Amino acid sequence: GEPVAATLGQGTAGLRIGVLGGYFADNALPEARAAVARVAQALGAEVEPVELSLVEAGRAAAFLITNAEAGALHLDNLRTRAADFEPLSRDRFLAGALIPAAWVARAQRVRSRYAHAAARVLARYDLLLAPATPCAATPIGTERFDLNGRDLPLRPNMGLLTQPISCIGLPVCSVPVWGAHPTLPLGVQLIAAPWREDLALRAAAVLEAAGICQAPVASL
């Protein structure tokens, strides 16, 4: 892509911004949805609710593809140094190595259809907003969490909202948003069309200048 530093001060006036609902709202706690609403308001642009089709199928395809690729990548070491792997990672890689090639090929076709659906949405919008995680950061050692009445394992579900975006290669700037949770920031994804990182970063610059997003670290 082109250098974007010179564009960061251009703001977001005139941009068409969609707030992803449906899957992205259903799989987020109220605090995560509130963070998205806070971002939408701060950007001061024309904001519309929008749904992205095939999201669940796209995430399922991505999950299968990435696990198959990881299994293939680590296969030699799994054969010779299995004890050196962290147990949960080892089990996931072993499962991925056993996925049939026909399943992977089908998943790639599903991912392609999903990518085309996303491209149609991004032809109408300059940016899309969505939560980055279903909830705020949990205490160390947490294994399960409640997601709108569903008791879910934490580790595989923290990527519920990012994997459907990353699997089709869209540029994203995830910003830490304060004010929607009493003590912690919540991530919000600023999603742009391919090669339009500049738009996501322009929006992030607006949020930073407004104090909506700040790095959660102590000042030095």
pLDDT the model gives residue 17: 94
pLDDT the model gives residue 47: 76
Q: Class of the 5-209 domain? A: alpha beta
Cα separation of 93 and 76, whole Å?
11
**E runs forming strands in the chain:** 16-20, 46-50, 127-131, 144-147, 150-153, 172-177, 186-192
Cα separation of 80 and 167, whole Å?
30
pLDDT the model gives residue 216: 66
- The arithmetic mean of pLDDT across residues 29-57, rounded, is 90
Of the candidates 207, 158, 218, the residue with the CA atom closest to the CA atom of residue 35: 207
- The arithmetic mean of pLDDT across residues 154-176, rounded, is 92
pLDDT the model gives residue 217: 65
- The arithmetic mean of pLDDT across residues 197-212, rounded, is 92
What are the angstrom distances between the C-alpha of 79 and each of 56, 72, 74, 84? 33, 11, 9, 11
102 CB neighbour count, 10 Å cutoff? 8
Cα separation of 105 and 201, whole Å?
34
pLDDT the model gives residue 12: 83
pLDDT the model gives residue 53: 93
Residue-wise pLDDT for 109-161, tens only, equals 999 999 999 999 999 999 999 999 999 888 899 999 999 999 999 888 899 99
What are phi and psi for residue 22, nearest 5 degrees? Answer: 60, -120
Give every CB contact of residue 66 below 8 A, 6+ residues apart in sequence. Answer: 96, 167
What pTM value is reported for the model?
0.88
pLDDT the model gives residue 104: 96
Residue bearing the bigger pLDDT, 214 or 176: 176
